[in-house]
Structure 1
Amino acid sequence: MLLLAFDTATPVITVAVHDGSRVVGEASGEGAMAHGELLAPAIRDAMAQAGAAMGDLTDVAVGVGPGPFTGLRVGVVTALTLGSTLGLVTHGVCSLDVVAADVQVGGEFLVATDARRKEVYWARYGGDQVRLDGPHVLRPADLAAQHPDLPVFGQGAHLYADVLRSAGGAGAPRAAALAGLVVAGRVAELPLEPLYLRRPDAVPQTVSKRA
């Protein structure tokens, strides 16, 4: 097995190559509007670090969100293209589950990422890192009111630490964690479709015809 995993649901673009036993290559980049420019070089660097060619891959895994429209589209389309052209087994995973995989606590917790518009994408997890509720999108104050006693991990927790009970630690999704989840079969896989949860910020303009 040689699995290529990546996530573009946040400004952090993260890539990992896993051989079924361990991560053998990693790369990352950051840019809120540069996913298209950063993903391909990061894939190339991770594959070079692994000492592998694209033809050696057997699987591809991608974080399907939730996240902003443009970033998710870049990741999902790339995974679909690689799966189709190379005949790879494809895996879609909720990006919040990837963050949760890096959390080590004794009880329930929340994962929150930045949804812009002063909102967060969030989900609730048990101590075994299994998702119990979500993903949803909500204002931080409303999330805090719903779950005042639960620690919150992820970029949304850092961004709204004045409102949410930020526990520090896990931040952006890591492709290495994504790969580990897929290899271990410890995640509920999703279709390779962007998980937006709401309409994109940018929509095509319609021009009305005059009679």
Structure 2
Amino acid sequence: MLLLALDTATPAVTVALHDGAGVVAESHQVDARRHGELLLPAVDRVLREAGVSLDAVTGFVVGVGPGPYTGLRVGLATAAAFGAATGAPVHGLCTLDGIAYAAGQAGLEGPFTVATDARRKEVYWARYADPRTRATEPAVDRPADIAGQVAGHPAVGAGALLYREVFTDVPDGMPEHQSAAALAALAAEKLVTGGEFLPERPLYLRRPDARVPVNYKVVTPR
């Protein structure tokens, strides 16, 4: 097994190579505006550090979100292209699941909430029974609207840090953004145990900003 994991659904541009036993090499950079610029050099750096070629990879793991459209599509398109070029399968995982798994690696047992910054004064979030078990579907909401649902349990992620008035228990040392190393480790577990993956399609949770205008004047001949 040799899994190349990547995720661009959060401000982190994160890539890791996992051999089924552990992470062989990884790259992690936080820059919300340069996903497209940083991702391929990060992949190249990870493969060179591990001393393997892309053709040696037996599977690709990609975070499918939720996340903003511009960043999220970079990782998904790249993973799809790698899969098409090599013939290796592409495994989709919820980005929040990767952060939850990383929280477990940092010592958090559960239950807890994962919340990332969705911008527009909202968060992408989900509740977890434990680091491997998501208890609710991913959602996007204003923090104040979910205060009752997240009260009484710890929370992790950039969204939790941003809205401390709602997420009042944010333990120290927990992940803020996605980690491809955690995502790869979670995927490796699922492949061994027969766990389920998601289609490599983006999980946006929002309607697109661009819409077809209504009541516009037709200027072409009929």
- TM-score normalised to structure 1 length: 0.93
- Structure 2 residue runs of 5 or longer lacking an equivalent are none
Is the partner of 2:136 in helix, strand or coil?
strand
Is the partner of 1:209 in helix, strand or coil?
coil
Identity %: 49
Contact 2:126 2:138 in 1 (8 A): yes
Contact 2:101 2:131 in 1 (8 A): no
Of residues 161-170 and 118-127 in structure 1, the stretch that sits farther from structure 2 once superposed is 161-170
User: Out of 123, 127, 130, which is 2:130 matched to?
Assistant: 127
- Structure 1 residue runs of 5 or longer lacking an equivalent are none
Who is 2:218 aligned against? Answer: 209
The structure 1 segments of at least 4 consecutive aligned residues displaced by more than 6 Å after TM superposition are: none
> CA–CA distance in 1 between the matches of 2:177 and 2:35?
15
> CA–CA distance in 1 between the matches of 2:181 and 2:109?
23
CA gap 1:61/1:164 in 2 versus in 1, 3 angstroms: same
Larger radius of gyration between Structure 1 and Structure 2:
2
Who is 1:92 aligned against? Answer: 92
> CA–CA distance in 2 between the matches of 1:80 and 1:208?
40
> CA–CA distance in 1 between the matches of 2:34 and 2:218?
36
Instruction: Report the Cα offset of residue 143 of structure 1.
Output: 1.8
> CA–CA distance in 1 between the matches of 2:139 and 2:70?
19
Any idea what the Cα deviations from partners look like across 1:42-88, whole Å, max 9, x if unmatched? 10111111111111111100000000001111111111111011111
Q: How many residues align?
A: 210
Instruction: Report the Cα offset of residue 101 of structure 1.
Output: 0.3
Contact 2:68 2:118 in 1 (8 A): yes
- RMSD of equivalent CA atoms: 1.7
Is the partner of 2:14 in helix, strand or coil?
strand
- TM-score normalised to structure 2 length: 0.89
Q: State the one-letter code of the partner of 2:206.
A: R
User: Out of 191, 195, 202, which is 2:203 matched to?
Assistant: 195
Instruction: Report the Cα offset of residue 128 of structure 1.
Output: 4.8
**Where in structure 2 are the equivalents of 1:5-20 lying within 5 Å?**
5-20=5-20
Who is 2:113 aligned against? Answer: 110
Is the partner of 1:4 in helix, strand or coil?
strand
Q: State the one-letter code of the partner of 1:54.
A: L
